[in-house]
Copies of this chain bind each other. A is one copy, B any other.
Amino acid sequence: MMENLFIDTLISQVRALDQFGTWANKADEDILKEKYVKSKEDLKNIPVIADIDEMQIQDIRLIYQAIALAFEKKTGIMCSVVMEMSHEGFGRAVVIAEKIVIVNKFFKDAHRYSFRTYEKLCEEGDKMLADAIKIYEEYKK
């Protein structure tokens, strides 16, 4: 149930950015696989020294934006994402609800940001969301 909430939110965000209908006929799972799932073999082919491109940064941001939105749907508490990323792929993303940091993620090789399988993406999103709610409950006033 929570798992679907994250994945449903993520896909609706991704589709919202599909201005030209490129993905209109594609299944949700296929779109998310294309964006976020990379095998070990795929990763070997990513040059480490190249600058990270804006598209990849946006795709990473969407994951945290989806956590933020899913958290809002679940709890009714507004939250927001602050993310900084250097061209070398070093960075940090935080999701903030009121004065509480509910997600805190460091990147050091964001070129390679990905999940090994689609199930892993669902699972990790689910876990981030559950952890976020737990932290919020612990710190809220």
Contact = CB atoms under 8 A, between A and B. Distances in A.
Given A138-B141, A141-B138, A96 B101 contact: yes
A135 interface: yes
Interface residue SS majority, chain A: strand
A66 interface: no
A92 B80 CA distance: 11
A94 interface: yes
Interface in A83-137: 83-84, 92, 94, 96, 99-102, 104, 135
Closest 4 CB pairs of A and B: A99-B101, A82-B82, A84-B84, A82-B92
Interface of A: 82-84, 92, 94, 96, 99-102, 104, 135, 138-139, 141
